[in-house]
């Protein structure tokens, strides 16, 4: 169990050799989930967006493709993830449309009221308190800005609950828990969707105007 636990725990904060192995499969492994999540975004033309907990950087790249006029800031607290995401998006970084930063979602340093859109794919399991972290997201979004959460787990599926017992600091949140924390942080117009055949969930919320 020791090696297995060490490996799956890299989903929280990839580090060292095992972290590199985890990141090598993260972009492809989460692609179908992320693409399903992207279909829930309302019509918009964001100028500034952020992908929080960006992992290997694939979803930041998809935001750049989906919205040709957007500048994307991708943030992760793993140095390895930042390195991987920078390599994945190097052309867009060179073009001035993307920035990859190391940071902590519980203390975001982005300017207040600056973003039109924020996304979080497969990451809020590890955020240190939803109320606190969602308040940070609300702080950096413009009034009326959108926040999208996309998770592989609906907080009740057996497989994810098994990993919750193995990975320190992991918490699988239900839709109800996520929605309550969003309302507490100042979000409204909250819409949730559950995949028809998988435990995947997408929660979309707008910051109060």
CB 27 within 8 A of CB 88: yes
* Share above pLDDT 90 across residues of the chain, in percent, rounded to a whole number: 76
**Strand (E) or helix (H) holding 88:** helix 79-88
Residue 16 has pLDDT above 80, yes or no: no
Where is average pLDDT lowest: 130-144, 167-181, 191-205? 167-181
State the residue range of the domain holding 158: 2-38+45-207
**Strand (E) or helix (H) holding 202:** strand 201-207
Give the model's confidence band at 166: pLDDT under 50 very low, under 70 low, under 90 confident, else very high: confident
Give the model's confidence band at 169: pLDDT under 50 very low, under 70 low, under 90 confident, else very high: confident
CB 150 within 8 A of CB 130: no
Please give the model's pTM, rounded to 2 decimal places: 0.90
The candidate with the shortest Cα–Cα distance to 100, out of 126, 76, 136, is 76
**CA–CA separation, 51 and 31 (whole Å):** 15
Q: How far apart are the first and last CA of the chain?
A: 49
Give the model's confidence band at 2: pLDDT under 50 very low, under 70 low, under 90 confident, else very high: low
Return the SS3 of 200. coil
Number of folded domains that form the chain: 1
- What CATH number is attached to the domain comprising 183? 3.40.50.150
Give the model's confidence band at 4: pLDDT under 50 very low, under 70 low, under 90 confident, else very high: very low
The string of pLDDT tens digits covering residues 40-65 is 999 999 999 999 999 999 999 999 99
| pLDDT for res 165 | 84
Q: What is the dihedral of CA 123, 124, 127, 133, to 10 degrees?
A: 120
């Amino acid at each position: 169990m020791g090696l297995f636990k060490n490996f799956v725990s890299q989903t929280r904060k990839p580090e060292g050799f095992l972290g590199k192995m985890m990141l090598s499969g993260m972009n492809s492994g989460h692609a179908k989930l992320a693409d399903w999540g992207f279909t829930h975004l309302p019509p918009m033309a964001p100028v500034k967006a952020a992908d929080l907990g960006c992992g290997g950087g694939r979803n930041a790249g998809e935001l750049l493709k989906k919205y040709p006029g957007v500048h994307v800031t991708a943030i992760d607290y793993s140095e390895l993830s930042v390195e991987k995401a920078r390599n994945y998006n190097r052309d867009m970084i060179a073009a001035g449309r993307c920035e990859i930063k190391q940071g902590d979602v519980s203390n975001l340093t982005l300017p207040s009221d600056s973003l039109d859109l924020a996304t979080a794919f497969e990451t809020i399991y590890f955020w240190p308190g939803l109320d606190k972290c969602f308040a940070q997201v609300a702080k950096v979004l413009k009034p009326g800005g959108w926040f999208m959460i996309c998770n592989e787990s609906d907080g009740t599926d057996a497989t994810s609950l098994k990993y919750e017992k193995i990975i320190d600091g992991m918490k699988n949140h239900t839709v109800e828990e996520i929605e309550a924390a969003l309302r507490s942080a100042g979000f409204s117009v909250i819409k949730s969707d559950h995949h028809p055949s998988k435990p995947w969930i997408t929660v979309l919320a707008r910051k109060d105007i």
